[in-house]
Amino acid sequence: GRLLIVCVSNHERCGARVVVSRSFADFTPQASFDIKKCDVHRLEEGPPLKAELTREQGLQYYRIMQTVRRMELKADQLYKQKIIRGFCHLYDGQEACAAGIEAAINPSDHLITAYRAHGYTYTRGVSVKEILAELTGRKGGVAKGKGGSMHMYAPRFYGGNGIVGAQVPLGAGIALACQYQGNDQVCVTLYGDGAANQGQLFESFNMAALWKLPCIFICENNQYGMGTSMERASASTDYYKRGDFVPGIRVDGMDVLCVREATKFAADHCRSGKGPIIMELQTYRYHGHSMSDPGVSYRTREEIQEVRSKSDPISMLKERMLSNNMASIEEFKEIDVAIRKEVEDAAQFATSDPEPPLEELCNHIFHNNPPLEVRGTNPWVTLKSVS
């Protein structure tokens, strides 16, 4: 593979042509990076302080994070055009969490999250096209247009969940199933700092610890629960210690390598039968809590700008790769162009695909059931549920 940049000047007529050729063999195939030390709770040692990154991995993580970023910005645009309606919680700023976790677990492992779920839906294998079509409520959406922003699912991805904290006991249940089946799989159970004071979390931690369930509980701490800063909501903001008897680690959630190494460490902990572990990923969301929150009444624009300029997960990875000669600026530009096109095409599909017909409204209420009459809002409405 050779990267060819052809500069054509006015001298083209005279046959003068400057060709800059750069072979991929010129790039550094692999590099080792220092990563931030994790704070640990009830552990002898934490994840390693160095992370290996191959050129292929770097480009793959960049592609994933940039796709999620572009997709969320497109969702923002479609929302403002009133094409997407209702609840819509965007993930931009937190991309290193989803990309890093997915890089450290197997496709056969399980993942469940709260309602800021677009990023995880993508990393778990759903296309941008199906995600955007779900947001616009169309037939070709991942949940057939009936789930919307907070309710997308995929194999071994148990979706966004609309009730604050409710996915945590469910995640413990999925981990119980892994243990029961003895399949060496783990369940990644995510929640935000806003859900961290829910009683159901502590009940789940307790059960998981008693039964040594292979569950990685991850608090994505993006500093604000809706419009309330974590300091105003939690008497203790050391979320990684809040499992008390469950070991924990606090991780830089803006660095995809940090997240990957910590998740590998946590997954090994669970697979070796030591029971659950808690991870706190310190991250940040650029958008408001949801599309109805402008996000600047409880924090300053300067604060958001500072995070963007100093610790943006995508820029940090790109800088690392460029400064170690692992890729070229042109390559990143090419990837960006391809992603923009993919997102544009997906948006085109999401705005032209038809909405599901009314007769499909009640389908799939039950699994594997004979067709069933469903009562409507009045005696004349007859609906059927087909599984």
pLDDT of residue 7: 44
Chain center to CA of 319: 22
pLDDT of residue 1: 52
CB neighbourhood size of 181 (10 A): 9
- Amino acid letter, 152: M
pLDDT of residue 214: 98
Specify the length of the chain in residues: 387
Burial class (CB in 10 A: 0-12, 13-18, 19+), 184: middle
251 and 257 in contact (C-beta within 8 Å)?
no
Task: Find the mean pLDDT for residues 32-61.
Answer: 98
pLDDT of residue 363: 92
pLDDT of residue 78: 98
Burial 205-237 (b: 16+ CB within 10 A, else e): bebbbebebbbbbbbbbbbbbeeeebeeebeeb
d(CA 150, CA 328): 37
Q: Is pLDDT of 94 > 70?
A: yes
pLDDT of residue 22: 56
pLDDT of residue 10: 44
| Integer CA distances (angstroms), 223 to 121, 310, 311, 372, in order | 23, 16, 14, 47
Taking only the tens place, the pLDDT of each residue in 111-138 is 999 999 999 999 999 999 999 999 999 9
pLDDT of residue 9: 42
Task: Find the mean pLDDT for residues 317-338.
Answer: 98
368 and 387 in contact (C-beta within 8 Å)?
yes
Task: Find the mean pLDDT for residues 321-334.
Answer: 97
- Amino acid letter, 272: S
Lowest-confidence range among 4-8, 101-105, 163-167, 189-193? Answer: 4-8
The C-alpha angle with vertex 301 and arms to 194 and 316, in degrees rounded to 5, equals 80
pLDDT of residue 23: 64
Task: Find the mean pLDDT for residues 272-293.
Answer: 97
pLDDT band at 379 (very low <50, low <70, confident <90, very high): confident
Taking only the tens place, the pLDDT of each residue in 53-64 is 999 999 999 999
pLDDT of residue 375: 87
pLDDT of residue 134: 98
The percent of residues above 70 in pLDDT, for the chain, comes to: 94
CB neighbourhood size of 139 (10 A): 14
Q: Is pLDDT of 6 > 50?
A: no
